[in-house]
Amino acid sequence: MGLDKAIWNTYPSPDGRLYYVPYTVQGSPYRQWERRRLKQAMLSIERRTCIRFWQVNPRSGKFFTLPHTAKTIPLRSHAVIVNSRDGRCGTGIGRHRPGRNPVYLAGTVTVPGTVGLARKTRTCTVQRILLHELLHLLGLYHEHQRPDRDEHVIIHYNRVKRTHRHNYDTERSIEMHGLPYDYRSESWLCSWLV
């Protein structure tokens, strides 16, 4: 996994050891178990990194209180986790814009069946997808977009839909930090993930 330049370094803790990612939740309300899974995915990242996700109240306006301090600071870049009703899972890479950085993580939706096809449920609220999108939010590209990926995998572009091909382009800005190619990365692209 490689890190992009626009990382979430805007809100360090006073001792400089942690970095907070303020976020709000919008869209349809999540079910209780969906909220629990989202928290679990965030915790899983927090346990292994200096990142701390910090939920802020969208009604609190343009400021938020830095955790464990009495410091109120302007809420500039923040993530907005959106439960859309369309089954969409996706986000930009890193802190890609000032202000709202949307992360589309649709809760469970049932897609009506057509003739001969059963109704299907879709959701982004499973651990694998939640981690995938949250890692994008933190600045990680897909593993197979590493500049050295051709030494490790073969991409069959002719089998990829034209509109999805950009997801298989290598990304020069990726810093690999000397880490070996990770075939078990959560940042492999699955057909329904972007």
Residue with tokens 């907005």: 80
**In whole angstroms, how large is the CA radius of gyration of the chain?**
18
Sorted by sequence, the CB contacts under 8 Å of residue 17 that are 6+ apart come out as 50
For 28, which DSSP code?
Answer: S
Catalytic residue among 133, 143, 171, 186: 133
Q: Measured between alpha carbons, how far is 156 from 168 in angstroms, rounded to an integer? A: 10
Nearer to Zn ion by Cβ, of 75 and 101: the residue is 101
The one segment of 2-10, 79-87, 173-181, 185-193 that binds Zn ion by CB under 5 A = 185-193
Other Cβ atoms less than 10 A from the Cβ of 83: the count is: 23
The smaller minimum CB distance to Zn ion, of residues 66 and 193, is found at 193
Report the SS3 class of residue 95.
coil
Out of 6, 7, 66, 193, point to the residue binding Zn ion (CB under 5 A): 193
Any bridge partners for residue 53, and if so which?
21
Q: Which of 64, 58, 41 is nearest to 138 (CA)?
A: 41
Minimum distance of Zn ion from residue 53's CB (angstroms): 19
Q: Segment 21-60, which members bind Zn ion (CB under 5 A)?
A: none
Where does this chain touch Zn ion (CB under 5 A) — which range of 22-30, 50-58, 78-86, 186-194?
186-194
Closer Cβ to Zn ion, 1 or 80, answer by number: 1
Cβ-contact 157, 185 below 8 angstroms: no
Q: How far is the CB of 187 from Zn ion (least distance, A)?
A: 7
Burial class (CB in 10 A: 0-12, 13-18, 19+), 34: buried
CB atoms within 10 A of CB 64: 21
Question: Nearest residue by C-beta to Zn ion?
Answer: 193
Residue whose CB is less far from Zn ion, 17 or 162: 162
Q: Which is nearer to Zn ion, 8 or 141 (CB)?
A: 141
Q: 89 and 12 in contact (C-beta within 8 Å)? A: no
Quick note: the x/- pattern for Zn ion over 134-173, rule CB under 5 A, is ----------------------------------------
CB of 193 to Zn ion, least distance (A): 5
Q: How far is the CB of 185 from Zn ion (least distance, A)?
A: 11
- Is residue 133 flagged as an active site residue? yes
**Where do contacts with Zn ion occur on this chain (CB under 5 A)?**
193
**Catalytically annotated residues:** 133
